Amino acid sequence: MPLKTNLNEQPSVNLTPMIDIVFLLIIFFMVGTKFVEMERKIAVQVPAVRDAQTLTPAPEKRTINVYRDGQISLDRQPVTLEQLTAELAAARQQYADLGVIVRGDAEGAFQNVASVLNACRQAGVAEMGISVRMAR
């Protein structure tokens, strides 16, 4: 039976690619630092303000429910079509990009949903959506 007399070589890790990446990162950050310095040297006097307040966030979309029997509610408050148009127009004066989501009952007549969408259009609401659920 022959005996093995030589030793297997130990695997070695090639560090060349890692060193290349480190050098590239160093070059990238050095060049990026130069651009920041160049940006600071631009002779532009930025205006100053004293009363800096945050902008008010956009209001959430208003929810309009259209029930099976034709009743309408705006944010859980029952309304008529005329009241809906008036309230949306008033809300749109506060925030011009007001959006609404219309949720109609699946068993109800689509005419009721179409009337609500028309009332939203008359109030000047441009962002309208219809809520649906995924069928299983």
Of 79, 64, 78, 60, the closest CA to residue 114 belongs to 64
What's the average model confidence in pLDDT over 49-56? 68
**Adjacent-strand bridge partners of 20:** none
So what's the pLDDT on residue 74? 92
User: In this structure, is residue 80 part of a structural domain?
Assistant: yes
CATH no. for residue 115?
A: 3.30.420.270
Of 72, 89, 93, 81, the closest CA to residue 119 belongs to 81
So what's the pLDDT on residue 58? 72
Q: Is pLDDT larger for residue 77 or for residue 9? A: 77
- Strands 77-79 vs 72-74: parallel, antiparallel or unpaired: antiparallel
Q: Are 58 and 95 in contact (CB under 8 A)?
A: yes
User: In this structure, is residue 72 part of a structural domain?
Assistant: yes
User: In this structure, is residue 44 part of a structural domain?
Assistant: no
So what's the pLDDT on residue 48? 76
Q: What one-character DSSP code corresponds to residue 87?
A: H
Of 45, 51, 54, 78, the closest CA to residue 64 belongs to 78
User: In this structure, is residue 50 part of a structural domain?
Assistant: no
Q: Which residues form the domain of 69?
A: 62-130
Q: Are 63 and 27 in contact (CB under 8 A)?
A: no
Round to whole Å and give the CA distance between 118 and 82. 11
Q: What one-character DSSP code corresponds to residue 9?
A: P
Domain count, the chain: 1
Q: Are 129 and 101 in contact (CB under 8 A)?
A: yes
- Strands 62-66 vs 99-104: parallel, antiparallel or unpaired: parallel
Q: Does the pLDDT of residue 80 top 80, yes or no? A: yes
So what's the pLDDT on residue 53? 64
User: In this structure, is residue 94 part of a structural domain?
Assistant: yes
| Collapsed DSSP state (helix, strand, coil) of residue 31 | helix
User: In this structure, is residue 135 part of a structural domain?
Assistant: no
